[in-house]
């Protein structure tokens, strides 16, 4: 089955995750997509879990089905603290290894104070055999009026990419890591660009990514430019 195209916007997650493909005979139905959650609260101490994960596919002998993709989580909060987890992870495909894993969903958090570790916020694809692409994590503090975008696939190598789908192409920090692959069909202006932990930024033909302060490429990260694609750095460049 062909993967569904990406949909929705990083800043405003609102679409449910999509279901996985069945085996074609109705023996093994696809996994359900993740749900949608919107939460507005003054203060949240999170020591449990907020989940919009896709369900796994199923496998029966030679019959197998695809997994659901991650869903949508948006949290508007004054103070977010604790040691819990926020996830919109794709499910894993059926057990014989031929079905697709689900792509990651979308998470957006608008906050005044954030002390919950950002490592506890995950929107990766399912990781079993045919790994799903990374979803998006958007974090927006009180100032300046631009946010941070994270694309991290939890070190799962996928044949799919994450397209840049945003309302605003101006960002404070853009991070691509953990074997996530960000495909920029839109131009962008970012203060800081971090490509690390085998993440890949692909700038397509005719698109410019403008970096105002720091371009950092570390941990076997890659910046790939198609013919006519451009990364313009007006600040410092760091590479290990």
The series of mean pLDDT values per 10 residues for the chain, 240 residues long, is: 79 95 76 96 98 89 84 98 98 79 97 98 93 97 91 96 95 98 95 98 96 98 96 96
Provide the pLDDT for residue 26.
Answer: 67
Burial class of residue 19, CB neighbours in 10 A (0-12, 13-18, 19+) = buried
Q: In this structure, what DSSP letter does residue 26 have? A: S
Indicate the SS3 state at residue 97.
coil
Q: In what helix (H) or strand (E) does residue 148 lie, and over which residues does it extend?
A: strand 148-152
Torsion of CA 51, 165, 204, 152, to 10 degrees: -20
The percent of the chain in helix, strand and coil, each rounded to the nearest 5, is 0, 40, 55
Provide the pLDDT for residue 129.
Answer: 80
Q: Residue 195 in contact with residue 179, Cβ under 8 Å? A: no
- If one counts every other C-beta atom within 10 angstroms of the C-beta of residue 183, the result is 21
Is the Cα torsion angle 9, 10, 15, 16 positive or negative in sign? positive
Provide the pLDDT for residue 85.
Answer: 98
Provide the pLDDT for residue 196.
Answer: 97
Bridge partner list, 203: 184, 225
Q: In what helix (H) or strand (E) does residue 203 lie, and over which residues does it extend?
A: strand 200-203
């Amino acid at each position: 089955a062909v993967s569904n195209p990406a949909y929705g916007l990083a800043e405003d997650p609102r679409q449910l995750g999509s279901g996985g493909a069945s085996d074609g005979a109705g023996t093994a139905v696809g996994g359900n997509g993740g749900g949608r959650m919107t939460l507005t609260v003054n203060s949240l101490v999170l020591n449990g879990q907020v989940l919009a994960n896709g369900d796994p596919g199923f496998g029966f002998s030679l019959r197998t089905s695809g997994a659901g993709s991650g869903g949508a989580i948006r949290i508007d909060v004054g103070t977010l603290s604790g040691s819990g987890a926020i996830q919109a992870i794709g499910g894993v495909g059926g057990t014989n290894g031929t079905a697709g894993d689900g792509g990651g969903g979308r998470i957006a958090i608008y906050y005044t104070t954030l002390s919950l570790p950002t490592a506890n916020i995950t929107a990766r694809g399912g990781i079993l055999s045919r790994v799903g692409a990374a979803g998006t994590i958007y974090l927006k503090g009180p100032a300046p009026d631009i946010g941070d975008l994270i694309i991290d696939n939890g070190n799962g190598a996928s044949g799919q990419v994450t397209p840049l789908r945003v309302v605003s192409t101006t960002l404070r920090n853009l991070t691509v890591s953990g074997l996530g692959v960000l495909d920029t069909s839109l131009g962008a202006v970012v203060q800081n660009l971090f490509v690390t932990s085998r993440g890949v930024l692909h700038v397509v033909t005719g698109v410019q990514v403008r970096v105002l302060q720091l371009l950092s490429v570390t941990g076997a990260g890659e910046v790939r430019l198609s013919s006519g694609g451009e990364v313009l750095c007006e600040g410092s460049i760091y590479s290990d």
